[in-house]
Amino acid sequence: MKKNLIVLMTTISILASGAAVLADEIPAATIEPTADEIMNVPAQPDTPFEDRIQGDVMLISGDTPVDAPVSMPSYVSKIVTVTEIRDKDNVISTTINEEDKENPENTINYTFTDNTIVLGYANGDVKALKDIKVGDKITVFSNAYSPAPLILPPQYSADVIVVEDETEKLNNVNVDTYVKDETGKLVNLANTLALNIADDTEIVDREGKKVDVNDLDKKDLVVVYNIETRSIPAQTNPVKVIVLGENEMAINNMEAAKNEADVTPAPTEAPEATEAPSDDKKVNFNDVKSIKIGDKSIENVYTKSENVLMVPLREIAESLGFTVEWDGELKAIMLNSGIYSLKVGENSYVKGRMMPQELSVAPEIKSDDLTYVPFEYFTEIIEAKANIEVDEEGAAHGTIELTFSDTDNK
């Protein structure tokens, strides 16, 4: 006797959704920073370079970074040391470990163009690409939505390069998409920095032409500043703002995440758990040979210890109609321009603004260079429906049918 089981979204997913909505109700800081809130000692030249950056946000020495992003930052950054400049190929070769720079595993290549902005840390003064020398320590900001070729060593675009010069007074730099909040204050997508534009703030475009302060909403900005409050998000009066332009993918990602949060009601009480059939808990996946999506059969599946069925992420996701992007530097995968995200080796799966969720195991890359995730990723995070046939002993055999309806999951 065989049974057909429909895999349901678990209670933890529902709770995570509710927690995300409640978190969104916390208003951003709306007051101007006071003298007591502002740290009056900017970063000094003798501060270790690495101590002034966390993720893509430069921090004043001794400050504690706030880990409360509300959306994916539009730019990722890395502190590296220049090892070679190939003008012919428009490539700057760098290392993440100056003491082991000959190791190819530490190499990152950055491509530059005429649009690449090069700045110094003294008031964001504009430099030229020719000013960069072998041995310089630089921070490179790359657009998180730009495609990166799957090659070794990894290669990314250099959109903004900030050059370390220990003879100069050091400021801080943030590159991200900035959006006006309900108070009219510009806040970056990472929710780490809010701007209080002063009359003496220099606002220019790539060519150095003045830009009106009212034209900064939903634009990618390079923000140079020297002091910030310890609020969430931190507030600053920027020294200089450079407008990079619009980032359509980042805005679409933000609006999609906001719409998803708006239509997901916060539960007034914890929902009751749906008790799955008892023999569902004993399903044995060892004999599962493939995943079927429509007419397509995906056969490169395997089981790990503790009976976890692992399946290829990209092949299944694309078969269900999702777009898939790979960030080789971060070993991160984004579905539908970042609405869903995960990292190889980290048991943390993100959907929109929901709290990250743990599954049976973390994503992993096998010898075929494909990324595999536990099958439950598609039933609990993506919320696809699976038809699993099991025998009386709870063993699944042959093929699992997987379906997904975008309409059903809105």
Is it the case that residue 106 has pLDDT exceeding 70?
Answer: yes
407: CB partners within 8 A, 6+ apart: none
Q: How confident is the model at residue 164 (pLDDT cuts 50, 70, 90)?
A: confident
pLDDT at 406: 62
pLDDT at 91: 95
pLDDT at 282: 62
At 27, list the tokens: 């208003």
pLDDT at 253: 83
Q: Which of 306-310, 317-321, 373-377 has the lowest mean pLDDT?
A: 306-310
Q: What is the pLDDT of residues 186-243, one digit of tens each?
A: 999 988 899 999 999 999 999 999 999 999 999 999 999 988 888 888 899 999 999 9
Q: What share of the chain has pLDDT > 70, as a percent?
A: 73
pLDDT at 264: 56
Q: Is 284 helix (H, G, I), strand (E, B) or coil?
A: strand
CA distance 10 to 312: 22
pLDDT at 256: 78
Please name every residue paired with 349 in a beta bridge, in sequence order, or none if there are none: 357
Residue 218: its H or E element: none
Q: Which of 18-27, 145-154, 300-309 has the highest mean pLDDT?
A: 300-309
Residue 322: its H or E element: none
Chain mean pLDDT for the chain: 77
Sign of CA dihedral 153, 302, 378, 267: negative
Number of H helices, E strands in the chain: 4, 30
Is it the case that residue 356 has pLDDT exceeding 90?
Answer: no
Is it the case that residue 287 has pLDDT exceeding 50?
Answer: yes
Is it the case that residue 298 has pLDDT exceeding 90?
Answer: yes
Q: How confident is the model at residue 343 (pLDDT cuts 50, 70, 90)?
A: very high
Q: What is the pLDDT of residues 9-62, one digit of tens each?
A: 332 232 333 333 223 332 333 334 444 443 333 333 334 444 343 333 333 333
* Exposed / middle / buried, residue 17 (Cβ in 10 Å: 0-12, 13-18, 19+): buried
Q: What is the pLDDT of residues 316-327, one digit of tens each?
A: 999 999 999 998
* Exposed / middle / buried, residue 369 (Cβ in 10 Å: 0-12, 13-18, 19+): exposed
Q: What is the pLDDT of residues 236-274, one digit of tens each?
A: 999 999 999 998 888 888 887 777 666 655 555 544 443
Q: Which of 181-190, 207-216, 392-401 has the highest mean pLDDT?
A: 207-216
Q: What is the pLDDT of residues 120-132, one digit of tens each?
A: 876 567 888 998 9
389: CB partners within 8 A, 6+ apart: 2, 3, 4, 396, 397, 398
